[in-house]
Amino acid sequence: MYTNSVKVVILAAGKGTRMKSERAKVMHEVFFSPMLHHVLFALEPLELLKSTVVVTGHQCEVVQASLSNFPVTFCHQAEQLGTAHAVLAARDFYEDFAGTVMILCGDTPLIRTETVRKMLKQHHSSAATLTVMTTCMPDPSHYGRIITSATGQILRIVEEKDATTKEKLIRNINAGVYCVNSQFLREGLALVDLNNCQREFYLTDLVAIANAKGLLVTGHNCPDSLEVLGVNSRLELAQAHKELQRRRNRQLMLDGVSIFGPESVEIAPGVKIGRDTLIDRNVRVSGNSTVGCCCHLGPQTILHNCQVGEGVCIEPGTYLMDCDVCSGATVTVGTVSRGRQFLPDKGRQTA
């Protein structure tokens, strides 16, 4: 869709000190996949993966290995000296490219395909040199504040540690997603300096640089601030997981599946559930599983890599892995099995 006009840079080099973990931040799992994968899932329907470079740094081998099934390329940021430095590390990727470079962060697993699509559309239709995604946060702590003119023009972005007391009251924040003209990106990065409290190369400095050149900088507002949540702690990790779980269960219910206590039910994204199936509380279905129509999954059921036919009743407290449950079968209370087949007669099973 955008393959000839857009290239994407995903920043995934950071360690994530607030996670209190030795694992690379973007590798922490959110709703069955590392958070970085969710960003790529959002790009996939736009046919942008082949035009995507992932900037790696901390535990680069692990991050790259996890993306073996994605048609992306990689570049390495040996030292993490800021977001502008990370984009500069990927310069070979867009050096001879004329078009839009979209920059995202690998720690925003809640970003939606439609939001990315709308931002690209606005950026192209407005003929802006730089478009910044913004949102309004109830608590803007840790985010860069958007500084605007009286007419609403974005003048600059000030990072939290560099903000004055008055600027910290601003709730309109930088969501960390950018669309930028490739020529300006190359020129602007050369002008970014270390004149800030953290002594880092800030990508946000491009806003002020563009204004100084008289170039158009626009904002693209994301009305749902949760969607651009940057996961920096275990608390935010749980928050992101809960939101993806909510989205998944909402779509299943809209598609004709009944879920009692959806806040306690986890159905992995690739799992197929048939209409008129009822899922009770505290159920988890994952892996390469399918569940047919008109089934009942009782409370405390766990299924992994299971094929379940139609009209099946799985009674409470059941754990099945790599099993086939034929249509019309009943799996009795508390069954724990692996690699077995369940036939329609109650209690009968074959190896």
The string of pLDDT tens digits covering residues 66-115 is 999 999 999 999 888 889 999 999 999 999 999 999 999 999 999 999 99
Q: Does residue 348 register a pLDDT over 60? A: no
Q: Does residue 193 register a pLDDT over 90? A: no
Tokens of 277: 């199936």
Alpha helices, DSSP H, located in 90-204: 91-94, 113-126, 182-189
Question: In the chain, where are the structural domains located?
Answer: 6-228, 255-350
Q: What is the pLDDT of residue 2?
A: 64
Q: According to the CATH classification, is domain 6-228 in 3.90.550.10?
A: yes
Kindly report which listed range (78-92, 139-153, 276-290) carries the lowest average pLDDT score: 139-153
What is the mean pLDDT of the segment spanning 141-150?
A: 89
Angstrom CA distances, 187 to 43, 88, 128, 205, 283, stand at 27, 11, 16, 12, 53
Which burial class, exposed, middle or buried, applies to 278 when counting CB atoms under 10 A from its CB (0-12, 13-18, 19+)?
middle
Instruction: Report which of residues 161 and 307 the model is more confident about.
Output: 307
Alpha helices, DSSP H, located in the chain: 35-43, 60-66, 83-89, 91-94, 113-126, 182-189, 205-212, 234-254
Sorting pLDDT into bands at 50, 70 and 90, what band is 347? very low
Q: Does residue 343 register a pLDDT over 60? A: yes
Nearest CA to 54 out of 67, 43, 45 is that of 67
Nearest CA to 134 out of 145, 142, 123, 125 is that of 145
pLDDT in tens, 307-326: 999 999 999 999 999 999 99
Return the residue matching tokens 């969607």: 227
Sorting pLDDT into bands at 50, 70 and 90, what band is 141? confident
Helix and strand tally (H, E) in the chain? 8, 27
Q: How far apart are CA 131 and CA 332, in angstroms?
A: 57
Quickly name the fold that domain 255-350 has: UDP N-Acetylglucosamine Acyltransferase; domain 1 (2.160.10)
Nearest CA to 240 out of 3, 11, 19, 17 is that of 19
Residue 176: which H helix or E strand, with range? strand 172-181
For residue 10, give the amino acid letter. I
Q: Does residue 351 register a pLDDT over 80? A: no
Q: How far apart are CA 292 and CA 4, in angstroms?
A: 41
**6-228 and 255-350 share one CATH topology?**
no
Q: Does residue 346 register a pLDDT over 60? A: no
What is the mean pLDDT of the segment spanning 184-210?
A: 87
Q: Give the number of residues written for the chain.
A: 351
Q: What is the pLDDT of residue 199?
A: 77
State the chain's mean pLDDT as an integer: 93
Sorting pLDDT into bands at 50, 70 and 90, what band is 3? low
Cα 152-154-159 angle, rounded to 5 deg: 130
Q: What is the pLDDT of residue 81?
A: 87
